[in-house]
């Protein structure tokens, strides 16, 4: 498998799943699913509800936690002590035994990988990208982390330590990127637009204010509970 992780180039058109033969594991999944439905262990509507729930989960959940930590020192302290409990404070329900938040600093940059498979905090970040599960990413993250980061456009100075964290079945990591300069007075909701999935994995940093989308509002919406400036 190649080691190209760039995201700023076009990709070839992918064929529809219906056009390619199902793999052995796909056939096993279909057989097991149909058997469970036949025996009334699970219904089609229950499966659909599970799929819809997974589709609703994305990096916006993790971004809420990071933005709250940037704004609220007390929450930040609680999150560093018990990130699972901190997630529940915001109404998020992690499904793992332990969540650890890794804070980036001017002298430390954290990077997350799962060297064995693809352990990933999907309730906070959504489904993992294909490159996160690839053998190339898993090996390069451990053996050549600075080179790997450079392929994502993230160039870490030699004076900054790069620390790699290996996820496991009962341990998940979430990177807290450094708050970008020029965001004084921004609300939590506005700050959350700067926090991306890749920055919470550690392969990039948070967006700069000029990269924010949608654009920063000039005045906070006081009807929004998260509009408090910080």
> Is 6 inside a domain boundary?
no
| Domain extent at residue 116 | 59-211
* Catalytic, out of 40, 45, 77, 118: 118
Q: Assess contact for 59 and 92: CB atoms under 8 A.
A: no
At a CB cut-off of 8 Å and minimum separation 6, what does 187 contact?
220, 224, 226, 227, 228, 229, 230
Question: Per the structure, how many domains does the chain have?
Answer: 2
Same domain, 65 and 50: no
> Is 161 inside a domain boundary?
yes
- Is 114 assigned a catalytic role? yes
Same domain, 102 and 23: no
How big is the chain by its Cα radius of gyration, in Å? 20
- Is 119 assigned a catalytic role? yes
- Is 118 assigned a catalytic role? yes
Same domain, 63 and 49: no
Same domain, 74 and 167: yes
Q: How far apart are CA 136 and CA 141, in angstroms?
A: 8
DSSP per position, 115-130: SSS----HHHH-SPPH
Q: Each residue's pLDDT tens digit in the chain (230 positions)? A: 445 444 454 444 444 445 568 888 889 989 999 999 999 998 988 888 766 666 666 799 999 999 999 999 999 999 999 999 999 999 987 666 699 999 999 999 999 999 998 899 988 999 899 999 999 999 999 999 999 999 999 999 999 999 999 999 889 999 999 999 999 999 999 999 999 999 999 999 999 999 875 545 444 443 344 456 88
Exposure letters 202-224 (e unless 16+ CB within 10 A, then b): bbbbbbebeebeeebeeebeeee
> Is 10 inside a domain boundary?
no
Q: How far apart are CA 166 and CA 160, in angstroms?
A: 20
Structure tokens at 13: 């058109």
> Is 188 inside a domain boundary?
yes
* Catalytic, out of 71, 114, 187, 199: 114
* Catalytic, out of 71, 119, 167, 199: 119
pTM of the model: 0.74
């Amino acid at each position: 498998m190649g080691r190209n992780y760039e995201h700023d180039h076009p990709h070839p058109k992918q064929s529809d799943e219906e056009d390619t033969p199902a793999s052995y594991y796909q056939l096993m999944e279909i057989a097991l699913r149909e058997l469970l439905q036949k025996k009334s262990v699970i219904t089609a509507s229950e499966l659909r509800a599970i799929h819809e729930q997974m589709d609703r989960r994305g990096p916006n959940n993790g971004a809420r936690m990071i933005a709250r930590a940037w704004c609220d020192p007390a929450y930040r302290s609680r999150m560093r002590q018990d990130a699972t409990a901190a997630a529940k404070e915001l109404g998020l329900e992690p499904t793992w035994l332990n969540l650890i938040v890794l804070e980036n600093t001017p002298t430390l940059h954290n990077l997350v990988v799962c060297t064995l498979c693809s352990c990933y905090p999907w309730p906070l970040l959504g489904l993992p990208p294909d490159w996160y599960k690839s053998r190339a990413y898993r090996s390069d993250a451990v053996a050549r982390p600075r080179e790997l980061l450079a392929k994502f456009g993230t160039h870490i100075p030699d004076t900054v330590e790069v620390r790699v964290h290996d996820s496991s079945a009962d341990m998940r990591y979430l990177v807290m990127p450094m708050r970008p300069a020029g965001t004084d007075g921004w609300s939590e909701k506005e700050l959350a637009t700067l926090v991306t999935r890749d920055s919470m994995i550690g392969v990039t940093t948070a967006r700069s204010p000029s990269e924010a989308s949608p654009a920063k509002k000039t005045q906070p919406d006081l009807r929004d509970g998260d509009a408090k400036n910080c």
